[in-house]
Homo-oligomer: A and B are copies of this chain.
Amino acid sequence: MSLKPYVSLITLGVEDLERSVAFYRDGLGWPVSGASAEDVAFLRTGGVVLSLYPRDKLAEDARMEPNGVGFRGITLAHNVREREDVDRALETAVAAGAKLTKPGEDAFWGGRSGYFADPDGHLWEVAWNPGFPLGPGGYPELPE
């Protein structure tokens, strides 16, 4: 298998790197790695690296036209361990400057979830899913 099943990094294209670093590092309290450079920030998480990089340079790197509007068709999720953590985490994000697109609410699948958009509109779901217990890395360890 030449493309093993894993995700190494997620890169968020950003308009203003300083603003985004302030949001994730100062607002959410996420650690920025010393491997970061002038035009890129690497956030250390429990697993996949979250990278912040200028949006136009990201498009150029992927050989794409940089124009794009509307729903991006991709979301990230941050699952929490307790039901009441959902609203608390959303409040933290909003206090850090995120836009709440969906307040926490009970979900048809038995948990609770809400969404926020980061300063560049990247969407994060905050979810409590009792059927998906979280491992130490912060991601659910799903059955085969």
Contacts and interface: CB of A to CB of B under 8 A. Distances in A.
Nearest to A14: B73
Size band of the interface chain A makes with B: 35 or more
B35 A143 contact: yes
B58 A6 contact: no
Contact of A47 (B6, B77, B102, B131): B6
Contact of A8 (B35, B71, B140): B140
Interface string A99-140: 001100000000001010000111101110001101001111
Interface of A: 1-13, 28-31, 33-35, 42-51, 55, 58-59, 61-79, 85, 88-89, 91-93, 101-102, 113, 115, 120-123, 125-127, 131-132, 134, 137-140, 142-144
Contact of A77 (B10, B43, B143): B10
A142 B59 contact: no
Given A2-B91, A6-B78, A47 B137 contact: yes
